Amino acid sequence: MPRYSFEAIGPSGATLRGSLEATSQGAALEQLVAGGQTPVSLRLMSDKRGVLEGVASALGLASFDYLSVLHELGVLLRAGMSVERALATLRNVAPNDRQGMRLGQILDRVRGGEPLSQAFGSLVREAPPHVARLMAAGEASGRLADIVTQLAANLSRAKALRDRVISSLTYPAVLVVAMSVVLWIVFTSVLPTLTPMFEEAGASLPLAARLLLTIERFIDTFGWLLLLMGLAAAVAVVSAFRRQDTRLAIDRFALRSRLTIGLPGKYEAARFTRNLQTLLDGGLSLERALAAARDGSANSWFRTRIAQVQARVSEGERLRNALADADVLPPLVIEFAAVGEETGRLGAMMGEVAAIMDHEVETRLERLTSLIAPFATLLLGGLVAAIMAGVVSGILAVNELAR
C-alpha cells in the first residue's frame, strides 16, 4: 500500500509531521481530516507512477484529475472548512505542479468573489458541463459539501462502469487490429505473388479460389476509391452529428430502439435519478432539481423530454403524471416517483431506483461484453480461414494441373 508523508496542523495548533499508509491521496486526506488535523502538505513517498504518466507530468501534459479533486474537496467541506481554505489545502497537497497551478487559479477567482461553480466550470474543461451546474445548485441551497460528495461518488461510479467496458473491449479491439494486419499482408503480398499462377489455371480453379481472385482484383482496381469514399463517409457522419436535428434523431433512436437492448435508457435513468436524489437531499425544490438533473444527461432527446416534465411540474402537475406522459423513463422509475410523492420521501426513492437501474445496466453490460470476445474471435477467425482456404485450394488445383 502506498505511503504518504504529511505536514498538518493538529487540533491544538501544533505542527505535525509524519507518514501514513492509504490506498490513494484522497484516502490519506480523509484519515488526516478524521483525526482533526488540517493538512498543509501531502506527498507520495515512493512514486510508482507509470513511465508515460511520469513523462507527461515532466512535460506539463498531465491532465487535471477533477474526480479526485471533487472527492477531496467534499471531504474537506464536510469537515467544516470554508471553500477558500479547502481549495488552499488542495493546492498545497496537489500531486503535481500542473494540478496545483489550476487549483491556485480557481482559488484566486473564488477570493475575487466568483462562485466556486463558475470558477470550476470555466477553468476545468475536463469535467462534464453538468458538474458546474450541480455545484451551483449546491451553493444556492447551502448544501455544497453534500452535493460535491455525492457528485464525486456518482462520477466515480460512471468512470468505473466506463473503465469496465473499455477493459472488456480491449481484447476484441486488439484482435481486430491483428486480423486487419493479416488480411493486409494476404491481399498486398501473398495474393499478388500467386495471381499469375491462378490466372494460368483459369476456369479450373475451385470456387473459393476464384472468389478470392475476384476480390483481390476489385481491391487492386478500386482500393483508393474505397478509401476516399470511407473518408468522405466519416466526414459526413461527423458533420451530421454536429447538426442539432440529426443528433436529436440519433439520441431518440438510442433510447427507443430495441437494437440497443435498453442500455442507453436505463443508463440515463440511473444518472438522472441519482442526480435528482442528490439535489433534492441538498434542499432544492423539485422544479429546480429537475432542471439541474436534466442538464446532467448527455442525451439531447432525454433532456428535451425532461424539460417538458419540468414545465408541467412548475404548472402544478404531479411528477408521476408528467413522467408517464414524457415516456422517456422506465415504468419502475415512474412508480417509485409516485411512491416518493405520496410518502414525502421523493429523494430517498430516487436513490433506491437509481441503485436498481445501476445494477441492471452493469448486469446487461457484463453479459454483452462477455459475448463480444468469442463472437469477434469466431467471426474474424472464420474470415481468415475462408481466405486461406481459397489460397490453399487454388495452389492445390494448380498443382493438380501441372501433373
Per-residue pLDDT at 59: 43
Q: Are residues 287 and 192 in the same domain?
A: yes
Give residue for cell 482484383.
Answer: 217
Task: Give me the domain span that covers residue 24.
Answer: 3-127
CA distance 166 to 124: 24
Distance CA 177, CA 169 (A): 12
CA 46 to mean position of chain CA atoms:
30
CATH no. for residue 259? 1.20.81.30
> What cell does 76 get?
474537506
The cell for 172 is 476484441
Distance of CA 108 to the CA centre of its chain: 30
pLDDT in tens, 231-264: 999 898 888 878 888 888 989 998 888 888 888 8
Strand-pair category, 15-21 with 3-9:
antiparallel
In a domain? residue 133:
no
End position of a domain, from candidates 107, 127, 147: 127
Give every CB contact of residue 185 below 8 A, 6+ residues apart in sequence.
none
Question: What is the Cα–Cα distance from 269 to 262, expressed in whole angstroms?
Answer: 11
Q: Is residue 141 part of a domain?
A: no
CA atoms within 13 A on the CB side of 392: 6
Whole-number pLDDT of residue 403: 60
- How many C-beta atoms lie closer than 10 Å to residue 140's C-beta? 16
Q: Which of 110, 127, 144 is the last residue of a domain?
A: 127
Q: Which amino acid is at 147?
A: I
Q: Alpha-carbon distance 55 to 49, whole Å? A: 10
Q: Is 83 exposed, middle or buried (0-12, 13-18, 19+ CB in 10 A)?
A: buried
What the block records as the C-alpha cell of 221 is 482496381
Q: What are phi and psi of 114, to 5 degrees?
A: -85, 140
Residues 376 and 246 in one domain: yes
Q: Are residues 166 and 258 in the same domain?
A: yes
Q: Please indicate, yes or no, if residue 137 is contained in any of the structural domains.
A: no
223 and 111 part of one domain: no
Model pLDDT, residue 57: 45
Q: Are residues 109 and 179 in the same domain?
A: no
Q: Within this chain, do residues 73 and 16 fall inside the same structural domain, yes or no?
A: yes
pLDDT at 382: 85
For residues 101 and 224, membership in a common domain is answered with no
| Domain-embedded: residue 229 | yes
Non-local CB neighbours of 86 within 8 Å, separated by 6+ positions: 73, 76, 77
Residue 282 lies in a domain: yes
The answer on 85 and 214 residing in a single domain is no
The residue among 58, 125, 132, 66 whose CA lies nearest residue 94 is 66
| Count of domains forming the chain | 2
- Same structural domain for residues 117 and 173? no
147: in domain: no
Task: Give yes or no for a contact between 101 and 111, defined as CB atoms under 8 angstroms apart.
Answer: no
**CA 353 to CA 273: how far, in whole Å?**
7
Residues in a beta bridge with 5: 19, 43
Do residues 169 and 72 share a domain? Answer: no
Specify if 33 maps to a domain. Answer: yes
143 inside domain: no
Task: Answer whether 349's CB lies under 8 Å from 322's CB.
Answer: no
Q: Which residues of the chain have pLDDT under 70?
A: 13, 46-63, 194-195, 197-205, 398, 400-403
- Asked if residue 186 and residue 279 are part of one domain, the reply reads yes
> In terms of domains, do 111 and 217 share one?
no
293, 301, 231, 294: which is closest to 264 by C-alpha?
Answer: 301
SS3 65: coil
Cell of 303: 433532456
